[in-house]
Structure 1
């Protein structure tokens, strides 16, 4: 297995773990799935994905420009990324919030739901930090041009995120009730995902 393949597999594992971890976007999608039905949940998931795609484009070309001018920045980004993985692991494990949803939302058009979900994602500073700190550490100087690598990774992450969120939107009626009634289940999911983040941080640290 070459370096590029190993990096891509590591990225897919990390991205998939993040996408299935309960968080603000998933809660947002779930709330609309419960109150507006399957179509409302999928519309919210599409809006979140649209916001993530905008972040991916900005990150790919902005970060790539900096790295092309200052190659040593790659090591700094990798270091930040490792710290960010550790931070994510700690945050996920320490998160004791439940998956409660608000089922009292007024009926809204699906386009409006998607637009609002996109704006919520775009205005989240943590998403910007994620793309700037996380994606560059999975690029290789010997592969495609850095902008192409970052954009490809961004699209893969958006696709995985939409798949996870849309699934939650479709199944939110039953899934939302189950998590709301079983706090232990949410804790088990969080702890498991947090441990995966720590392991990925350790692997990436050895690669520096």
Structure 2
């Protein structure tokens, strides 16, 4: 089992992942605003099932990789650092899109399609795959027991964090959109705060060492 203090750090990293704009968030927000909360929840269900595909693949992949390639930890760490810096840039890049701007051109989809698109959006989302591959090795240690068990523990934790935050977003998307429309300065503050936290995490990860 992974120690509680390290698990808390991972939860914070998972929290940053879910609140950082990406394909999953864009799909959930657009559906919740244009088609209602029920459509957002169905889309979220598909996304969560997509996460489990990543968890299974990455759990087996990391187990094999860490045993087969001694340099794997450093390679994955560098990938994670670069990806965090990329996310930080995306948060503050000029002409960045406001995720809470309603898309008037979206069609009304049936429940099955909402679920399937959410599922595919999650499975094909490189943000999730890179997060799993680069972050999991930072918290997995042979001294804590089975590497696969630790991978599954981290995966389930990430899913719970993602579901909780995304569920809140689905329920409040319309209100958040209205808030940012009235007070655009808070959107800028949120973007720069996010970029600062992501950059700090990248620096911390860059100087971390395998244990």
Sort the TM-score into its range (normalised by shorter chain): 0.7 to 0.9
Tell me if structure 2 keeps the 8 A contact 1:51–1:118.
yes
Runs of 4+ that moved beyond 6 A: none
Unpaired runs of at least 5, structure 2: none
Q: In the TM superposition, what whole-angstrom CA distance separates every residue of 1:168-192 from its partner, at most 9, and x where no partner exists?
A: 1111222223334544322221211
The alpha carbon displacement at 1:143 in A equals 0.8
Q: In the TM superposition, what whole-angstrom CA distance separates every residue of 1:71-126 from its partner, at most 9, and x where no partner exists?
A: 33123222322232222222223262212122453433223201111112222333
What TM-score comes out, normalization by structure 2 length?
A: 0.86
Matched position secondary structure for 1:142: helix
Q: In the TM superposition, what whole-angstrom CA distance separates every residue of 1:118-173 from its partner, at most 9, and x where no partner exists?
A: 11222233332222222222212211211111221112112211211111111122
What TM-score comes out, normalization by structure 1 length?
A: 0.87
Tell me if structure 2 keeps the 8 A contact 1:85–1:201.
yes
| Cross-structure match for 2:98 | 98
| Cross-structure match for 2:169 | 168
Tell me if structure 2 keeps the 8 A contact 1:31–1:103.
no
Count of matched residue pairs: 206
| Cross-structure match for 2:78 | 79
C-alpha RMSD of matched pairs (Å): 2.1
In 2 relative to 1, CA 105–207 (structure 1 residues): closer, same or farther, beyond 3 Å?
A: closer
**CA separation in 2, counterparts of 1:70 and 1:83?**
21
**CA separation in 1, counterparts of 2:105 and 2:50?**
25
In 2 relative to 1, CA 180–138 (structure 1 residues): closer, same or farther, beyond 3 Å?
A: farther
**CA separation in 1, counterparts of 2:149 and 2:107?**
42
Q: In the TM superposition, what whole-angstrom CA distance separates every residue of 1:59-82 from its partner, at most 9, and x where no partner exists?
A: 111121111222331232223222
Unpaired runs of at least 5, structure 1: none
Matched position secondary structure for 2:161: helix
1:152 matches 2:153:
yes
The alpha carbon displacement at 1:40 in A equals 0.8
The alpha carbon displacement at 1:4 in A equals 3.5
1:118 matches 2:95:
no
| Cross-structure match for 1:66 | 65
